[in-house]
């Protein structure tokens, strides 16, 4: 199969597929990713585990209730002397004992350790939610980046198709001119070479587009097939204010909020560690039943049964534990200091990232506007060159150059457009507004 036949087959196939493809909007892609992306699912499971850990059932505030039961049988030979001097012997005397009880234990006071541990679990739950949010934001950034790459490749493919059509028209014109002696065979051969090159570029673009659609489908959890198109309409309707976004970043940036949660957790760790300096007061209670039978002639009673309640308070005060509590408190304080230093470091890093992202966004918007103007110039130049080429006033080489200039301008414009959009999304992510703004 030669290149022209393969290209014709490709056009027919992709033309049929294009008519059957549904347009996948960004909103639909986001919904599919939120529902099916495996990273988001795993993050949600982690949040659920943290929520369970922060429940009252895991707080240590509830008492423990245990049930015990048992039975023993003793068979012994016994010899005993009574007070009157008589000796009695019991061979194979059997003793049976049965017991059952319900026991209650409750810590009334443990130096506020469980109070601060419970507070810590609540903060860990909040931290897991922030980590899940970070996973979602990163997934959304990846989703948009790939989605707009698909959109860019789709537009590039259209531009390459148009370029190939122009080259085909040129070949047809060159063949007519050669037949009527108005052109040399070299012009026909050059046109064929250009068609082959344009066909190869188009085939490669088709394959790259298919591969990138697969990448997008993976982010969406393989929730759809690769038979879809994307929306190539891009607008920049939101006029962002840098100072407003900067202030929102200080409040909403997920990395800053995570380190703030870690500082709270470290503070509660210090307070929970100090509980080792205080005593523990506990309450115990039980209700039990005991029964024993003894068929020995030496026994005073053949059967004995007891039932009743018992209860009490206990106080435990670890006056000195070898310095373990002191060391634990010292280390917890150092960890808190480390978290505070990390907050300062992250703040500097986030501020730098925001300013870089903002400047990058502004530059890419300017480049996009320049490329929009450039493509108008390239189109006008191509149209004029095409008219002159039809009149025989320019060579095929000059016409080809104008054609390539137009193609390059279109590809550069597509690149600039989607680069600017991804840069906009990056700014929103750093400022903590990615999940709050309709794109």
Give the CATH number for residue 338: 1.20.1600.10
Question: Over the stretch 22-63, which tens digit does the pLDDT of each residue have?
Answer: 999 999 999 999 999 999 999 999 999 999 999 999 999 999
pLDDT attached to residue 392: 82
pLDDT attached to residue 19: 47
Tokens of 419: 């680069």
Establish if 29 belongs to a structural domain. yes
> What is the average per-residue pLDDT within 186-198?
90
Establish if 79 belongs to a structural domain. no
Establish if 390 belongs to a structural domain. yes
What domain range is 263 assigned to? 3-36+111-279+322-431
Of the listed ranges 5-14, 149-158, 257-266, the least confidently predicted one is 5-14
pLDDT attached to residue 18: 46
Establish if 371 belongs to a structural domain. yes
Q: What percent of the chain has pLDDT over 70?
A: 89
Domain count, the chain: 1
Entry field: residues in the chain: 439
Question: Over the stretch 130-142, which tens digit does the pLDDT of each residue have?
Answer: 999 999 999 999 9
Tokens of 387: 């008219």
What pTM was estimated for this model as a whole?
Answer: 0.86
Establish if 423 belongs to a structural domain. yes
Tokens of 356: 């870089």
Got the DSSP string for 95-139? EEEEEEEEEEEEEEESTTHHHHHHHHHHHHHHHHHHHHHHHHHHH
Establish if 89 belongs to a structural domain. no
Backbone angles phi, psi at 391, to 5 degrees: -90, 0
pLDDT attached to residue 226: 76
| Nearby residues of 394 by Cβ (< 8 Å), 6 or more positions away | 385, 388
Exposure b/e, 368-391, CB count within 10 A at least 16 = b: beebeebbeebeeebeebbeebee
Report the C-alpha gap between 174 and 180 in whole angstroms.
Answer: 10
Establish if 215 belongs to a structural domain. yes
Residue 373 banded pLDDT, cuts 50, 70, 90:
very high
Three-state SS sequence of 65-91: EEEEEEEEEEEEEEEEECCCCCEEEEE
Average pLDDT, the chain: 89
Backbone angles phi, psi at 276, to 5 degrees: -65, -15
Report the C-alpha gap between 227 and 205 in whole angstroms.
Answer: 16
pLDDT attached to residue 296: 56
Closest CA to 290 of 9, 101, 16: 101
> What is the average per-residue pLDDT within 188-197?
91
Establish if 41 belongs to a structural domain. no
């Amino acid at each position: 199969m030669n290149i022209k036949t393969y290209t014709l087959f490709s056009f027919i196939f992709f033309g049929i597929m294009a008519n059957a493809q549904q347009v996948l909007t960004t909103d639909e892609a986001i919904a599919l990713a939120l529902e099916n992306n495996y990273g988001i699912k795993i993050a949600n499971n982690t949040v659920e585990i943290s929520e369970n850990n922060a429940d009252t059932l895991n707080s240590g505030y509830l008492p423990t209730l245990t049930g015990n039961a048992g039975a023993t049988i003793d068979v012994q030979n016994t010899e005993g002397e009574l007070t009157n001097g008589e000796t009695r012997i019991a061979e194979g005397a059997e003793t049976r004992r049965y017991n059952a009880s319900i026991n209650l234990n409750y810590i009334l006071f443990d130096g506020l350790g469980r109070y601060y541990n419970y507070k810590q679990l609540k903060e860990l739950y909040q931290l897991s939610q922030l980590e899940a949010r970070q996973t979602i934001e990163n997934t959304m950034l990846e989703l948009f980046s790939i989605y707009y790459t698909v959109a860019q490749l789709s537009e590039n493919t259209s531009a390459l198709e148009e370029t190939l059509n122009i080259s085909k028209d040129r070949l047809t014109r060159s063949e007519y001119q050669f037949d009527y002696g108005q052109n040399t065979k070299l012009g026909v051969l050059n046109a064929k070479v250009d068609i082959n090159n344009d066909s190869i570029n188009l085939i490669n673009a088709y394959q790259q587009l298919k591969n990138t659609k697969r990448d997008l489908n993976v982010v969406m959890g393989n929730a759809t097939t690769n038979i879809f198109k994307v929306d190539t309409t891009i607008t920049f309707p939101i006029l962002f204010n840098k100072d407003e976004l900067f202030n929102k970043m200080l409040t909403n940036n997920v990395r800053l909020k995570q380190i703030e949660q870690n500082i709270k957790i470290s503070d509660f760790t210090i307070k929970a560690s100090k509980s080792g300096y205080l005593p523990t007061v506990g309450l115990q209670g039980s209700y039990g039943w005991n029964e024993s039978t003894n068929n020995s002639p030496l026994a005073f009673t053949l059967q004995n049964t007891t039932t009743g309640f018992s209860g009490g308070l206990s106080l435990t005060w670890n006056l000195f534990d070898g310095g373990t509590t002191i060391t634990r408190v010292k280390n917890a304080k150092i960890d808190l200091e480390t978290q505070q230093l990390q907050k300062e470091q992250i703040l500097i890093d986030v501020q730098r990232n925001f300013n870089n992202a903002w400047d990058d966004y502004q530059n890419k918007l300017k480049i996009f506007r320049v490329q929009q103007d450039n493509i108008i110039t390239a189109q006008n130049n191509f149209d004029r060159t095409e008219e002159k080429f039809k009149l025989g006033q320019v060579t095929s080489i000059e016409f080809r150059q104008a054609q390539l200039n137009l193609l390059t301008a279109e590809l550069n414009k597509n690149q600039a457009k989607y680069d600017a959009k991804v840069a906009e999304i990056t700014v929103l992510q750093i400022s903590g507004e990615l999940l709050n703004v309709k794109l």
